[in-house]
């Protein structure tokens, strides 16, 4: 969790405690019912000169009237939240007065369920907090620990950090790196074992399959490498490197037609790649199919016109078709590219001299 996120949490919690402390009664303050006093005790006194014959009746009537009417007229009405006093018989009027004149502790107020739900998701605003907890000083400790605090919008700060397990792709990537390191450290056998295990669960992991094929070819097991590459072509036909490597393997073992079929299928599938066209052109040229070779060389050069070797191959096929004028142009373009090796440059110069003599 970044420093910005920690600072934001601490600030929000501090504001929460400040708001709750402000809502609570100050320490040492008087209880909420401290100032409630009965109004004017003398109202219940009966003048001493009452006629003797009415004394008994008057006292009974005054006692009943005082209990039923004095309480409602004397209690303050400013705070509607205070509980109403229930009228009591005259015999208990003295006890009621004593209760009202002594401090009465504030009743405990439990937070409503809605306030608890709010705190468990996000920190409440000051208004909501005061409404939910009118006399609380601090929220429960468990609510703070379980709170899910969200960052203000457009801050980019992440308040809550959660540990995420590795995904299957991340585990596969780690396994591939371990295998590559083992091969670099001179332990290709263990690297091969791990790669085969990895390809069981991730058969389309291209770089793992490439590494496995290279390990197999390094040890001379070209049949196993061929099987590895053929599976790669079947699973990921869009990845042309598998086809190129497999085609070379076919050519090395005299399977020219298999190599040609493999690359032609890629072109028929609509793969657009200058390397594919040039590879096909070379195979057509090798088999004496110069017209097909010319077409594929031209397609390749349209995408990459600076490749000198392809200009040279185009010149050879054009010469094979007896198109010497275009062949000379192709040989000159090959030399002008500056990308030919010394041997190929000598060959292009020799062909230019030969064609000029005719």
Q: 60 in a domain, yes or no?
A: yes
Same domain, 278 and 358: yes
Burial class (CB in 10 A: 0-12, 13-18, 19+), 234: exposed
Angle at 12 between CA 8 and CA 116, to 5 degrees: 130
pLDDT band at 86 (very low <50, low <70, confident <90, very high): very low
CA distance 86 to 96: 10
Two structure tokens written together for 345: 């440059």
Whether this model's pTM surpasses 0.85 = no
- Residue 327 and residue 349 in contact, taking contact as beta carbons nearer than 8 Å: no
Q: Tell whether 149 and 1 lie within a shared domain.
A: yes
Query: What are the pLDDT digits (tens) for 169-223?
Result: 999 999 999 999 999 999 999 999 999 999 999 999 999 999 999 999 999 999 9
Q: Is residue 250 in a domain?
A: no
- pLDDT given at position 92: 38
- What is the per-residue pLDDT for 327? 98
| 358 & 304 share domain | yes
Instruction: State the pLDDT at residue 164.
Output: 84
User: How many other CB atoms are found less than 10 A from the CB of residue 162?
Assistant: 5
283 with 350, same domain?
A: yes
The CA-CA-CA angle for residues 43, 46, 48, to 5°, reads 140
Q: 70-84, 237-251, 325-339: which has the minimum mean pLDDT? A: 70-84
Same domain, 298 and 346: yes
The distance in angstroms from the start CA to the end CA of the chain is 80
Residues 277 and 342 in one domain: yes
More confident residue, 150 or 243: 243
CATH number for the domain that contains residue 281:
1.25.40.10
Extended beta strands in 237-327, E state: none
Does a structural domain hold residue 122? yes
Q: Is residue 247 part of a domain?
A: no
Q: What is the pLDDT of residues 303-320, one digit of tens each?
A: 999 999 999 999 999 999
Note whether 145 and 36 are same-domain residues: no
Confidence of residue 152 (pLDDT cuts 50, 70, 90): low
Pair 141, 276 in one domain:
no
Quote the crossing angle between the two packed helices 342-357 and 308-320, to the nearest 10°: 30
Closest CA to 213 of 188, 234, 184, 238: 188
Tell me if 117 is assigned to some domain.
yes
Rounded mean pLDDT, 63-74:
50
Residue 244: name the closest of 262, 217, 224, 267 by CA.
262
Residue 86, phi then psi, degrees to nearest 5: -80, 135
Residues 4 and 146 grouped into a single domain: yes
Number of domains in the chain: 3
Cβ–Cβ < 8 Å for 135, 23: yes
pLDDT of residue 55: 55
pLDDT in tens, 232-291: 999 999 999 999 999 999 999 999 999 999 999 999 999 999 999 999 999 999 999 999
pLDDT at 44 over 60: no
Instruction: Note whether 22 and 38 are same-domain residues.
Output: no
Whether 121 and 148 have beta carbons less than 8 Å apart is answered as yes
pLDDT of residue 125 exceeding 60: no
Structure tokens that stand for 291 in this block: 């017209």
296 and 339 housed in the same domain:
yes
pLDDT band at 66 (very low <50, low <70, confident <90, very high): low
Q: Write down which residue in 61, 81, 101 finishes a domain.
A: 101
Residues 316 and 358 occupy one common structural domain:
yes
Domain containing 344 equals 272-358
Q: Express as a percent the part of the chain with pLDDT over 90.
A: 54
**Is residue 218 assigned to a domain?**
no
Q: Locate tokens 């504030």: which residue?
A: 106
Asked whether residue 115 is assigned to any structural domain, the reply reads yes
Residue 286 lies in a domain: yes
Confidence of residue 56 (pLDDT cuts 50, 70, 90): low
Q: What are the Cα distances from residue 265, in Å, to 151, 170, 216, 286?
A: 55, 33, 26, 18
């Amino acid at each position: 969790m970044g420093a910005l996120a920690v600072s934001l949490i601490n600030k929000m919690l501090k504001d929460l405690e400040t708001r709750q402390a402000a809502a609570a009664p100050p320490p040492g303050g008087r209880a909420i019912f401290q100032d409630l006093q009965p109004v004017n005790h003398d109202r219940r006194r009966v003048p001493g000169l009452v006629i003797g014959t009415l004394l008994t009746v008057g006292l009974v009537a005054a006692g009943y009237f005082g209990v039923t009417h004095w309480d409602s007229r004397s209690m303050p009405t400013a705070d509607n939240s205070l509980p109403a006093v229930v009228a009591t018989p005259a015999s208990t009027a003295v006890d009621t007065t004593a209760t009202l004149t002594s401090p009465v502790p504030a009743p405990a107020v439990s937070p409503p369920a809605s306030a608890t739900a709010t705190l468990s998701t996000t920190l409440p605003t000051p208004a909501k907090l005061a409404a939910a907890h009118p006399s609380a000083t601090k929220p429960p400790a468990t609510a703070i620990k379980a709170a899910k605090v969200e960052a203000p919008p457009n801050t980019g700060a992440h308040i809550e950090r959660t540990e995420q397990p590795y995904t299957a792709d991340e585990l596969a990537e780690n396994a591939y790196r371990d295998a590559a390191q083992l091969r670099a450290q001179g332990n290709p056998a263990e690297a091969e074992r791990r790669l085969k295990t990895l390809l069981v669960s991730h058969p389309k992991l291209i770089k793992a399959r490439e590494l496995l094929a290279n390990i197999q070819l390094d040890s001379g097991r070209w049949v196993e490498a061929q099987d590895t590459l053929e599976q790669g072509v079947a699973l990921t036909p869009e990845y042309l490197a598998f086809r190129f490597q497999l085609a070379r393997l076919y050519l090395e073992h005299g399977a020219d037609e298999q190599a040609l079929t493999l690359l032609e299928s890629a072109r028929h599938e609509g793969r657009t790649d200058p390397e594919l066209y040039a590879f096909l052109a070379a195979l057509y040229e090798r088999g004496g199919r110069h017209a097909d070779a010319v077409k594929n060389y031209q397609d390749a050069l349209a995408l990459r016109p600076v490749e000198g070797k392809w200009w040279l191959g185009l010149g050879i096929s054009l010469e094979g078709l007896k198109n010497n004028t275009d062949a000379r142009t192709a040989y000159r373009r090959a030399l002008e590219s500056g990308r030919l090796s010394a041997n190929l440059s000598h060959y292009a110069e020799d062909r230019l001299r030969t064609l000029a003599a005719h």
